[in-house]
Structure 1
Amino acid sequence: MKAYTYTSVALAVTISFLTGCGGGGGSSSNTSVGTTPTTPVTSEPEWEAGVYEPQSEFIAKCETPRTGVDPFTGNAYPDTQGTAMDEKLWLRSWTNDTYLWYDEVDDNDPENFSVLGYFDQLKTNELTPSGTPKDNFHFSQDTAEYNELSQSGISSGFGFSWEFVATTVPRELTVRYTEPNSPAALASVPRGAKVVSINGVDFVNDNTQQGVDAINSGLFPDDAGTTTSFGFELIDGTTMSVDITSTDVSVTPVQNVKVLDTENGKTGYFQFNSFIVTAQEGLIEAFDTFVEQNVTELVMDLRYNGGGRLALASQLSYMVAGPNQTNNATFETLQFNDKNPTTNPITGQTISPTPFYSNVIDYNAGRLTDTLLPSLSLTRVYVISTDATCSASEAVMNALRGIDVEVVQIGSTTCGKPYGFYPTDNCGETYFTIQFQGVNNKGFGDYADGFMPTNTPNFDFELPGCEVEDDFTASLGDTNEGMLSAALEFAATGACPEVVSGNGVADVNALRSNQSALVGEKLIPIDTPEKRRENFFLHNKINQPVIKEQD
């Protein structure tokens, strides 16, 4: 069964599918004779099928306008008094202008939806060649919450990264890993622990509304300082009960940096969880170590990396490939809808290829610095992947293949997101809708069903490598862990492990038997003071590709 993979975001475990809720109908004046109206009377615009007014007619006209100054920009909020219909019609025009598949969106009457409900259906209903939904990446986030997470590197929670194997009875929720120094880590909850109870409620089987509400409340507290009683079943079958109090968690995107002494020489390994701004320092430290240690092979563990900034993806690709292979080559070129063949509809700039960024970036100023990044100049790299490997992670794989760096894929098919978006705020909600597709130096970007490891690649979305299950019985970075073990075996022999289970997937227990003699390791600590944000989105994926060149 395919696991549904999520991080610590307020994802409801529900009895039945629930739709989002948002603003209602138009505003009205609530006044009486002899009083002064406190809310201005606002006329509501009307929807006309097939007629799309300019976005400017509706943007920042809000049913509930924000007041004061945006703490993240220092500017006054642009909101003015409007109606829910204004918000919906802005979403409609914005979608029609910028959505990659705008001509596949049904023009339904917005009066029949809440604001968020209306946005939810402003997307294509078409399918990929494999029969999965073409757009699995359409979502929104409260703007204040989004800004807090994306700008500060801090999120409120316990510090768990969860693997949701099943969200309906019998539920299965497994710990992927815990953030260093988080409450979950300090409570010594190990990878592979399965939740069996939340605040005394049977997590696996309770299907009452009261039970579901209690589970969600306990798993995803709204505020720091909330204590939840967890019951876990560990890998060895024993149980563990622990009370954990939520707090503001600093996220460490680069973890478990190691140099392994193998039969094939020095092999670098690192776990990379999110392409967020604060990852730059950790990546540079890791590659500095790899260069100093004369690493000749590299394993990038992207199994839980849902994506992020494409500029960081470009930097990582350069650090792998080095200056000679990336010189005058394109990391990625963005392609927008057919209304915008040469101009970026978001920025208004002429579309130009994104290079392989070879320098440190000042992300606060949006500028390249004069400091050169470290690089390994490798011609082959091993990527550990799952269906949670998405977006910018896939862009790295695609970009390296575009300059003929061999990418060996260990694990399972990636999520399939050659697309991206510019997060756009309106009236306190930040919206994410697919606006572009990225293609590599060879013009390839058709991997909507994901990159797939195989012994005999025949298509551009098929990569040499081994299909291996995620192994929750060992810690990430442990050479006995199934996926890393398979990568090291492939590096040593040039082939996938011979021992497989009945379904054809490599048997992780058999993989371990020869690794202890094959590998020695040196742990390189990564400990930086910068605040980091959690990779908190469902699949994703904050693709913010624009960066200004230094003047």
Structure 2
Amino acid sequence: MPLMKNYKALSLLLFIALIFTSCFEDNDDNQIAVSSINDFVWKGMNSFYLYKDDIPDLANNRFANNEELKVYLNSFNSPEGLFESLIHQRETIDRFSWIVDDYIALEQFFDGVVTNNGMEFQVFRFSTTDTNRYGIVTHVLPNTSAEANGVKRGDIFYGIDNVQLTANNANALLSADNYTINLGVYDDNDTTDTSDDSVTETSETIALTKEQYTENPILINKVLNIANKNIAYLMYNGFTGTEQFNAELNSVFANFNSAGATELVLDLRYNPGGSVSTAIMLSSLITGQFTGEIYSTEQWNSEIQEALETENPELLINRFVSSNNGAALQSLNLDRLFVLTTNRSASASELVINSLRPYIDVVQIGTTTAGKYQASTTLYDSDNFRREGANPSHTYAMQPLIFKSLNVEGVTDYFDGLEPDITLSEKVRNLGVLGDENEPLLAEALAIITGTGKPQREKGNSVIMSDKKINSSPFEGNMYIDKDLPIDLIKKTFFE
């Protein structure tokens, strides 16, 4: 449908005035006013928010003039309050947009820099009525306080600084920079029924200290030789789109190639997502035979979608690639992939699974993923919403959802997550050693690949695990783009 530019010129008159200029003068020339930051929030959401059509206050004709908009913006006491009022169905549809008052910390997170003691864990309870919480260590990051002090996968802790973990205090206790975990022992009372299970307290403790830490997303990579098959295993814990980590990922696949790997088990069970471009790169490393073909497509809000479809529809398409930063990809050219998942596998992890399924056989083992099919970008308070030229008076930034991803067959909206082909949950009593051929989820994949034996799928105990890791970063579960926004195209389409 062609654009009706005359109509747009009328209905978007306010939009034109706001997207590249400030609505009104700051209330205080010496100190940034909340209303000025609110102006930035409304402009950014009005321009790019995926669900703009569903938010009446973001309509281009919502305000008759700048004065009316000013009154509206001044009715909010904080940028956070305004931002939340513009979110579409926070509990059911948009669970992933956010605003921060310190974009430096946000940028560090995207670069893999976090404050961490190295103990990654999940929280569980024994029943829906159990008010106590217990932590189980899922993995330990190298060169951290947790590693130095002997924390290991499978360790169970019931308290922090001698205080029992509960639903009400867990976040507060685990947010401290320094704390001591109180270790416990899982007791199943020699039955398979979890209703009589408990954690027995011990006197053993481990003191941990958080420090600024750059996490390498490549936790484990190896090639297993089983039944005369060379099987690559990669535990990849974040799509951190930095040049360094992308280059390391390419090197890992070069090693897989050198070792003659003909199968790959990709472990994304703790991977919350990240860069779309890194997801495309990883998928291209796994395959290699689809260079130039459609990897995924994007669906933006109706105005931007119409502009892109009319002026440059190629901008809506992401394609398989053959190189990264000028270096040829060391692709495996596989036609089958085994992926290990849990409910902590989100966004870019799900993008890889969903986008590869139309092209190769993707065997998903584990539990259902988080269910995030939307991507976001960082919007700054500048003329074009990019970092350069950002207002120096504050460090607010937004990370709103701006488009949803579809695979080449149009599959999207997997709000309830991607269901596994083989359901196999992690058991508290039988986590196993990551990367070991007997670890239950990996063993399941190896059994299928080799056709030898069958793992004991029900071994161990099932308890109620938390939906997400308590005390996780507020930035987790994000899928973001690191390409230029189509600002020039939007200007041309709507304003020329």
RMSD: 3.4
Counterparts of 1:248-287 in structure 2, within 5 Å, are 248-263=212-227, 265-276=229-240, 277=242, 278-287=244-253
With normalisation by structure 1, the TM-score equals: 0.68
Match of 2:441 among 483, 486, 492: 483
Counterpart of 1:180 in structure 2 is 142
Residue 392 in 1 paired to residue 348 in 2?
A: yes
Residue 288 in 1 paired to residue 254 in 2?
A: yes
Amino acid at match of 2:375: G
Q: Give yes or no for contact 1:174–1:195 (8 Å, CA) kept in 2.
A: yes
Match of 2:411 among 413, 420, 444: 444
Match of 2:117 among 149, 158, 182: 158
Amino acid at match of 1:295: A
- TM-superposed CA distance for 1:116, in Å, is 1.0
Residue 246 in 1 paired to residue 210 in 2?
A: yes
Match of 1:375 among 331, 346, 350: 331
Match of 2:321 among 332, 340, 357: 357
Q: How many residues align?
A: 414
Match of 1:544 among 459, 481, 491: 481
Counterpart of 2:182 in structure 1 is 231
Amino acid at match of 1:477: G
Q: Give yes or no for contact 2:217–2:238 (8 Å, CA) kept in 1.
A: yes
- TM-superposed CA distance for 1:425, in Å, is 2.6
Render the CA deviation track for 1:201-251: whole Å, top value 9, x for unaligned.
22248x5xxxx4xx6565223xxxx53222122557674301122222231
- TM-superposed CA distance for 1:147, in Å, is 2.2
Counterpart of 2:489 in structure 1 is none
For residues 284 and 238 of structure 1, what CA distance do their matches in structure 2 show? 45
With normalisation by structure 2, the TM-score equals: 0.75
Report the 3-state secondary structure (helix = DSSP H, G, I; strand = E; otherwise coil) of the residue aligned with 1:136. coil
For residues 425 and 146 of structure 2, what CA distance do their matches in structure 1 show? 25
Q: Give yes or no for contact 2:116–2:213 (8 Å, CA) kept in 1.
A: yes
Render the CA deviation track for 1:410-462: whole Å, top value 9, x for unaligned.
01111111110111234312211111011223333332322112xxxxxxxxx
Amino acid at match of 1:227: N
Where is the helix percentage greater, Structure 1 or Structure 2? 2
Render the CA deviation track for 1:462-496: whole Å, top value 9, x for unaligned.
xxx2001024532221222221111222323499x
Residue 300 in 1 paired to residue 266 in 2?
A: yes
Render the CA deviation track for 1:354-378: whole Å, top value 9, x for unaligned.
22122122xxxxxxx1x20101110
- TM-superposed CA distance for 1:287, in Å, is 0.9
Following superposition, which runs of at least 4 residues in structure 1 exceed 6 angstroms of deviation? 59-65
- Structure 2 regions of 5+ residues with no counterpart? 1-13, 59-71, 188-199, 382-393, 462-471, 486-496
For residues 134 and 166 of structure 2, what CA distance do their matches in structure 1 show? 7
For residues 137 and 306 of structure 2, what CA distance do their matches in structure 1 show? 45
Amino acid at match of 1:286: V
- Structure 1 regions of 5+ residues with no counterpart? 1-50, 66-79, 127-131, 362-368, 454-464, 500-505, 511-534
Counterpart of 1:411 in structure 2 is 366
- TM-superposed CA distance for 1:271, in Å, is 0.6
Counterpart of 1:524 in structure 2 is none
For residues 318 and 64 of structure 1, what CA distance do their matches in structure 2 show? 52
Structure 1 residues 340 and 176: CA distance shift in structure 2, 3 A: same
Structure 1 residues 93 and 264: CA distance shift in structure 2, 3 A: farther
